[in-house]
Chain A
């Protein structure tokens, strides 16, 4: 068995929403990063993710049978219709928080897109092969910063430690399988997030150790439900900003 459009659609939607929402968050750093090279780096990473989301939404419009275009998904869905996990939506915090989040999400992207690069949907396989290669650059960028901050000054080390505490509750959700993902894998398509926990967290742990930091701490609570459309307050503000222009001036062009 090789899956079907109905099986692929929710998986593609989840990937697209993860990419779009994180692109929007990362874009907030432009003009606010610690140095101008970092404005450009985070802007470039956001642009990669936005381009990836656009390709995935275009594919999704044909898979889910609605024929919607990329803008329909980005601008005309409400909060509960977004299917990303919580980590990309939480508010932009300290720069150390962002590098921790980028390290986790890019490490996940490297692994899951590499797994999808050999899937039987040629369009998705093409997007995935490119995505995995690009995410290696994103991951390496986060890696270098985590090493510099963790093994840097007492101040930067303390802020990295605080960042790990703040991000920890959102880690478990990255590796929680949904019914749609299980159904896909049962039909021979896709990859189970739980199977990526070890390679992703193994990679992250090795970097944290090298950066003289403790591992991601145990969290007292865990986010969940992002893939079912359950989100935090932060998403409302994010999509209000993202969708404002299109909804105020439908059909506007320039």
Chain B
């Protein structure tokens, strides 16, 4: 075990844990760290996180990584889960959105309000257009709402021809 670091340092280290599926995105920027209580006296830290998508398997890896990082800082970590207030994609910081774009993942758009989904003639080619994170074109189309992971939808850019993921807004 390394020398015990200061409370601020362990808070920073915990926040810098990255999403295993999106390695440029820290959990602080993902907006899932709700609370970090450091007790320097007992070398312990309680980290409260909130799940993103209900079925996201990355949450368990993230919890383990938090324990490992805290141990490297000289602290024993307990990870607790809180559902309230619920996480939404609005909790992703601007730096987090930039990190997604760096990986050519379109960041989430604005969330739907509490209005029912309108019954337009589907699929409406304009309704789901997102900006291509590779070339910036808006000439894109939705391939499937359920992409490679629970949080992503798959799109295709008609300008540069590349398929790309979109982080879905919830």
Q: How would residues 130 to 143 of chain A score, 1 for a CB under 8 Å from any chain B CB and 0 otherwise?
A: 11011011011101
Contacts of B51 in A (CB 8 A): 51, 55, 130
Query: Which residues of chain A are within 8 angstroms of B88 by Cβ–Cβ distance?
Result: 133
A41-B144 in contact (CB<8A):
yes
Is B116 touching A203 in the complex (CB atoms < 8 A)? yes
Which residues of B are at the interface with A, using a C-beta cutoff of 8 A? 50-51, 53-57, 82-88, 111-112, 114, 116-117, 119, 121-123, 143-148, 150, 154, 168, 170
The 7 lowest CB-CB distance pairs between A and B, nearest first, are: A126-B83, A47-B55, A51-B54, A51-B55, A126-B84, A41-B146, A44-B146
27 residue pairs from A and B, CB less than 8 Å apart: A37-B144, A37-B146, A41-B144, A41-B145, A44-B146, A46-B55, A47-B54, A47-B150, A50-B54, A51-B55, A52-B55, A55-B54, A122-B83, A122-B84, A125-B84, A130-B51, A130-B54, A130-B83, A134-B54, A134-B170, A136-B112, A136-B117, A139-B117, A140-B145, A144-B122, A144-B123, A147-B122
- A130-B170, A137-B168 are known contacts. Are A123 and B83 too (CB-CB below 8 A)? yes
Is B55's CB under 8 angstroms from A44's CB?
Answer: yes
Is A207 interfacial (CB-CB < 8 Å)?
Answer: yes
Interface positions of A (Cβ within 8 A of B): 37, 40-41, 43-52, 54-55, 114, 122-123, 125-127, 129-131, 133-134, 136-137, 139-141, 143-144, 147-148, 203, 206-207, 210
Whether B170 contacts A133 by the Cβ 8 Å rule is: yes
B169 nearest in chain A by CB position: A133
Residues of B within 8 A of A41 (CB): 144-146
Question: Would you call B83 and A127 a contact (CB within 8 A)?
Answer: yes
* Contact A45:B117 (CB < 8 A) given known A51-B53, A51-B56, A127-B83: no
Q: Which secondary structure dominates chain A's binding surface? A: helix
Residue of B54, B86, B112, B150 most packed against chain A (CB within 10 A): B54
A184 shortest CB reach to chain B, Å: 20
Kindly state the separation between the CA atoms of A137 and B154 in the bound complex, as whole angstroms: 14
Chain B residues lying within 8 Å of A148, measured Cβ to Cβ, are 122
Given the interface contacts A55-B83, A114-B114, does A48 sit within 8 Å of B53 by beta carbon?
A: yes
Please report the C-alpha to C-alpha distance between residue A44 and residue B149 in the assembled complex, in whole angstroms.
7
Q: List chain B residues, Cβ under 8 A from A127.
A: 54, 83, 86
Most B-side CB within 10 Å, residue of A48, A123, A126, A133: A133
Check if B119 sits within 8 Å of A131, measured CB to CB. Answer: no
CB–CB A126/B86 < 8 A:
yes
Given contact pairs A49-B54, A51-B54, A126-B86, a sample of 13 additional A-B residue pairs in the complex whose CB atoms are under 8 Å apart:
A37-B144, A37-B154, A40-B148, A41-B146, A44-B150, A47-B150, A51-B56, A122-B84, A140-B145, A143-B117, A147-B122, A148-B122, A203-B116
Assembly CA distance A73 to B86 (angstroms): 24
Taking CB atoms, residues of chain B closer than 8 Å to A45 are 146
How far, in whole Å, are A53 and B35 apart by their CA atoms in the complex?
25
A133–B114 alpha-carbon span in the complex (Å) = 9
* In the bound complex, CA of A141 to CA of B34 (Å): 32
CB closest residue in chain A, given B59 = A51
Closest to A41 in B: B146
A40 to B168, CA, bound (A): 15
Chain A residues contacting B121 (CB-CB under 8 Å) are 147, 210
A137 and B145 contact, Cβ closer than 8 Å, known pairs A122-B84, A130-B83? yes
A40 touches B145 (CB 8 A): no
